[in-house]
């Protein structure tokens, strides 16, 4: 990598990159597991492919299919070796994420020591786990989105659904998530006059987003769409 590429990539990491450490604790494992994240996110996959030719990694599409009127979003994700090499080049030029890079490079060193212990069929030393926990906590505090780690509880927390007999937690507009979908997103229990998308026959439905008068029409419509796609 040339010095110009390293300086340009440092700006990319500062603006579009994410460096983080994840901690996973499950009942199946007595000790926590740690992993890292070194990604660059953008909607221009061609630009990410150019960066991929410099530093390696793999590109994944990350946006949800439910997002309407949005351009697809992509992640360029690096492995441990690729991330170490990239950070070694760009660390002197980083401004916003220099501390992130330093913590992640230390994490790679401690994680390598832990792998050596596990390879020898030995339990992970408590001091190594303590170092990983400290690095995880430090990275978490750096990436904290709020103003403080102990964010004060809001009055909305602890509220329940306002419907009598429903003990689920509050989600939005006084309802739990299930009743929010029923009464807000789907129009509630009122009847809606619709026209079948397949046969054109008028019908009434409790759902405001209903498209077919029967299951048969819905299956027929999906069959026709698959048949047209196959041609």
State the CB neighbour count (10 A cutoff) for residue 161.
Answer: 19
The predicted pLDDT at position 7 comes to 96
State pLDDT tens for residues 49-63: 999 999 999 999 987
How many residues make up the chain in this entry? 231
- The correct answer on CATH 3.10.28.10 for the domain covering 3-142 is yes
State pLDDT tens for residues 131-171: 999 999 999 999 987 665 554 445 455 688 877 778 888 88
Bridge partners for 18 per DSSP: 39
pLDDT under 70: residue ranges of the chain = 26-29, 64-68, 119-122, 146-158, 187-191, 206
The contacts of residue 139 (CB under 8 Å, 6+ apart) are 19, 20, 21, 100, 103, 104, 107
The predicted pLDDT at position 149 comes to 54
pTM for this one?
0.61
CA 69 – CA 130 distance, rounded (Å): 46
CA 34 – CA 130 distance, rounded (Å): 12
∠ CA 161-164-170, nearest 5°, is 5
State the CB neighbour count (10 A cutoff) for residue 48.
Answer: 19
The predicted pLDDT at position 47 comes to 96
**Domains of the chain by residue range:** 3-142, 190-230
Task: Say if CB 82 and CB 56 are below 8 A apart.
Answer: yes
The predicted pLDDT at position 131 comes to 93
DSSP 8-state secondary structure symbol assigned to residue 8: H
Bridge partners for 84 per DSSP: none
CA 42 – CA 76 distance, rounded (Å): 9
State the CB neighbour count (10 A cutoff) for residue 164.
Answer: 5
The predicted pLDDT at position 119 comes to 61
């Amino acid at each position: 990598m040339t010095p110009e590429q390293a300086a340009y990539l440092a700006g990319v990491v500062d603006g579009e990159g994410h460096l983080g450490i994840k901690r996973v604790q499950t009942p199946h494992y007595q000790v926590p597991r740690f992993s890292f994240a070194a990604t660059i996110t953008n909607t221009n996959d061609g630009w990410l492919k150019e960066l991929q030719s410099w530093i390696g990694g793999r590109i994944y599409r990350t946006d949800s299919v439910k997002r309407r009127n949005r351009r697809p979003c992509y992640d360029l994700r690096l492995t441990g070796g690729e991330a170490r090499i990239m950070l070694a080049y760009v660390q002197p030029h980083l401004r916003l994420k220099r501390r992130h890079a330093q913590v992640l490079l230390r994490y790679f060193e401690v994680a390598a020591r832990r792998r050596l212990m596990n390879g020898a069929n030995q339990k992970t030393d408590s001091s190594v786990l303590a170092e990983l926990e400290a690095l995880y906590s430090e990275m978490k505090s750096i990436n904290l989105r709020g103003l403080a780690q102990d964010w004060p509880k809001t009055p909305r927390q602890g509220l329940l659904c306002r419907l009598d007999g429903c003990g689920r937690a509050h989600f939005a507009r006084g309802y739990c998530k299930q009743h929010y979908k029923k009464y807000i997103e789907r129009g509630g229990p009122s009847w809606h006059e619709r026209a079948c998308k397949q046969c054109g026959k008028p019908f009434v439905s409790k759902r405001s987003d209903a498209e077919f008068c029967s299951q048969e029409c819905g299956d027929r419509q999906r069959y026709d769409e698959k048949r047209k796609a196959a041609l």
